[in-house]
Each structure stands twice: as structure tokens, then as C-alpha cells.
Copies of this chain bind each other. A is one copy, B any other.
Amino acid sequence: MVDLELIHDLLTPADTKILLFVLDGLGGLPVTPGGPTELEAADTPNLDRLASDGMVGLHQPVSPGITPGSGPGHIGLFGYDAIRYQIGRGVLEALGVGFDLRPNDLAARGNFCTMDAAGKITDRRAGRIPTERCRALCAELRKIELPGVKMFVEPVREHRFLLVLRGKGLEEGVADTDPEHAGAPPLEVTAERPEAEKAAELVRRFVAGARDRLAGHEPANMVLLRGFARLPDWPKFPEVFGLKSVAVAQYPMYRGVAKLMGMDTAEVGASLDDLLSTLEQVWSRYDFAFVHVKETDKAGEDGAFDRKVRVIEEADRYVPRLMALKPDVVIVTGDHSTPAALRGHSWHPVPFLLWSTTCRPDGVKRFGERWCLEGGAGLCRSEDLMPLALAHAGRMAKFGA
């Protein structure tokens, strides 16, 4: 099996640029039997032109039948094995709110919950309290004192919050306190391995403090914690692939994943125009740009087929501005499928196009799932896209003599 080390060893310098344009959750399904998917229904003359001049295919995130979250979806697109390289839930939560997580930090996802007089959980989500209330309660939790570490409690949304402990020797291995179902008391804080005992003891104090301070604050009178994790220590994308890299993304989560992989990041405004403007500003300084559009996924999650079609059509109108930057290789794809018909991520392979001057013609003239099936790249794994991009960018030497 090809791995990052093999790819790295084959790198050869070139003065070429790669653009990865991700329409989150791009892959779709028909809403009428045999009808078009969102992408097939969309009028996309510019993407069709790229598909026609380049090549198309479908990529399978993770493995057939597996529905990826945003983390594994992007990790695969970035060329990493999403099963080997997994981001802990606490870390993802931190990335999602743009928290500046550091190597000595231990992060967990928190829920406010409702506990009855007997100490049993009656609602794991505390009736989904308003985010405003979550913010106030987080301020209350910040008053808990933990010796020898810095503590951060950040509101996320509704009943969700982020807990970060910063200090030396805080190891992974603190077990979840969330029993995952109502009717049981919160689990005791335990260390799954001896190295985690220091962190576990601090978490015990936090939980005891939370119980005291939240008493009377029904429905949010207790906390549940899970996914204790630290920043992973992975090979960095720019070094592995020899690409000075930047992420241009609207949402903190995607900038966070890119940053974790060692990319520079650029924050942008809410519109596609903002996205392109930022890209245009930073493009000259980088070999690789990851550009992320979130709205396709949101439309899919909302079950809004027509809105997803419109977002794709809007993205299509920005393609000429992308091409005006004269990238040597362009990939347009999603990190996973989010069919409006399923109102969520799905396991279906994701359509992609790869444009460069070294594509072998595959006869496909349009960008869409059923046409991608006939494409020159076939059905490949998500992590195959980066080596393909590097090859088309003239950045890969021969393997073996």
C-alpha cells in the first residue's frame, strides 16, 4: 500500500501550483426515482468545461459503506488514511469554535444535562438550552479552580460546550463520563491508563465543581464530558507533499483541520466573493490552496435539494476567477456526499474533476455523478487524489529504476 513516506520520497521540485476546491458534501442523490442528483440538476457550464478538458471520477472516503464526518472526509482529501489518522472529538470541538489549541492542551466535548434528585440523568441535552444560556453557564463554570493548570470553558451551541485543560503532563486516556443514555448517573471519572491519572484527578475536581455550581440551574444542573483528546502529532502536510499550503475557508472547523495538518489559514467573510478575493490575495505566496465552501453541505443537511443546486450553480460562476489564477492542477470535489434526500452525510462516493494539461481524455463532457462513473479516474480512494494532483503538477519522480 502506498503511504505518505513513499509519496514524500518521490517528490521532485517544480514551480507549479495546485488548487483544491471543496464544495462540502457535494455528492448527492435524486429525489425522484432515476432523476438527477443535485450536481446533475445544476447548470454548471464552467465546471463542465473543466470536466471536458480534464478528467473525472468518483472518490470513496474511508471505505465502501462508511459515512465520514467532516474530519475523516478532509483528512482523506488531504491524502492521509482516515482510519489511521483520527482526530479526537474534543479536538474537533475545539477546532469547530476556532479555539487556539496548543500541544499541551487536553480538550473534551461537554454537554449540559439534567440530573434528578437521585443523581440520575433525565435529559442528556438539558432540553437543548438556548446558546445564550449555555454562554452564561460556561461563565459560571469558569469560576471552578483547578490547581496547576489553566482551564477554558467555551460555549459551542445549545447544550454543548468545550472544556480545555492546559498544563504539563495532561495525557489522553480519561474515560467519557457520558453513559450515552438517560436513566443512569454520570460515569465516574476514570483514567484508562496510568499516565492519564493526573488529568483524571483534575477532571474529577471540575465535575465536582460543576455539580456544586450548577445546582438549582435546572434543566442544566450537571455536565457530561467525552472525547478527551490532545492535538495529534502527525506528519505535516506541507512537509509530506513539499507544498507551501494555505486553507481559505469560511468556517473555523475547516481552518482548524487544515492548521492541525500544518497549513497556513486565511479567515474569510461569508460570501463566495469574499472567498475568492482572499484566495486572490494569498495565491502568489503558495503552492497549494485548499478552498472550502460550506453551503452545499448545509443545504444537503437541511434537505434543501433546490438550494443545494443553486449553491453549486453559484460556485460554478466563480470558476473563471479560479482559472484566471492559472493553477497548474485543479481538483473540484466534496469531502463526502450529503444528499438532500437523506438530510445528512452519506457513504456514497463523491464526484470529482481533475483539470490539468496532462489529463488523458475520457470523453466525459459534464460534471455529475453518473458521468463521473464513466470517467478516466474511475472509482478511487479519497487519499489517491493528492498523489494524482502531485503527478499532474510534475512534482513526482519515477518509482524504481
A residues touching B (Cβ–Cβ < 8 Å)?
1-2, 6-7, 10, 29-30, 33-35, 37, 53, 58, 62-72, 82-83, 86-87, 89, 92-93, 341-342, 344-349, 358, 360-363, 369-370, 373-380, 384, 386-391, 396-401
Residue of B nearest to A58 (CB): B378
- A400, B2: Cβ atoms closer than 8 Å: no
- A400, B360: Cβ atoms closer than 8 Å: no
Given contacts A348-B360, A378-B379, 10 further A-B contacts (CB under 8 A): A7-B65, A33-B53, A37-B360, A66-B391, A67-B391, A68-B398, A71-B400, A72-B399, A92-B401, A347-B391
What's the least CB distance linking A372 to chain B, in Å?
10
- A64, B387: Cβ atoms closer than 8 Å: yes
- A373, B362: Cβ atoms closer than 8 Å: yes
What's the least CB distance linking A353 to chain B, in Å?
15
**In the complex, which residues of chain B have a beta carbon less than 8 angstroms from the beta carbon of A92?**
400-401
What's the least CB distance linking A69 to chain B, in Å?
4
- B83, A2: Cβ atoms closer than 8 Å: yes
**In the complex, which residues of chain B have a beta carbon less than 8 angstroms from the beta carbon of A87?**
400
Within 8 Å by CB of A70, from B7, B65, B401, lies: B401
What's the least CB distance linking A82 to chain B, in Å?
7
Residue of B nearest to A386 (CB): B65
User: What are 26 pairs between A and B in contact, CB < 8 Å?
Assistant: A7-B65, A10-B66, A33-B53, A34-B361, A37-B360, A58-B378, A64-B377, A64-B387, A65-B387, A66-B387, A67-B396, A67-B397, A68-B399, A69-B401, A72-B400, A82-B400, A92-B400, A345-B398, A347-B391, A347-B396, A349-B378, A360-B369, A362-B373, A363-B373, A373-B376, A373-B378
- A29, B83: Cβ atoms closer than 8 Å: no
- A370, B363: Cβ atoms closer than 8 Å: yes
- B401, A65: Cβ atoms closer than 8 Å: no
Residue of B nearest to A227 (CB): B401
What's the least CB distance linking A122 to chain B, in Å?
22
**In the complex, which residues of chain B have a beta carbon less than 8 angstroms from the beta carbon of A30?**
360-361
Which of A33, A363, A373, A377 has the largest count of B CB atoms less than 10 A from its CB? A373
Residue of B nearest to A86 (CB): B400
Which of A53, A64, A387 has the largest count of B CB atoms less than 10 A from its CB? A64
Which of A58, A380, A390, A399 has the largest count of B CB atoms less than 10 A from its CB? A399
**In the complex, which residues of chain B have a beta carbon less than 8 angstroms from the beta carbon of A65?**
7, 384, 386-391, 396
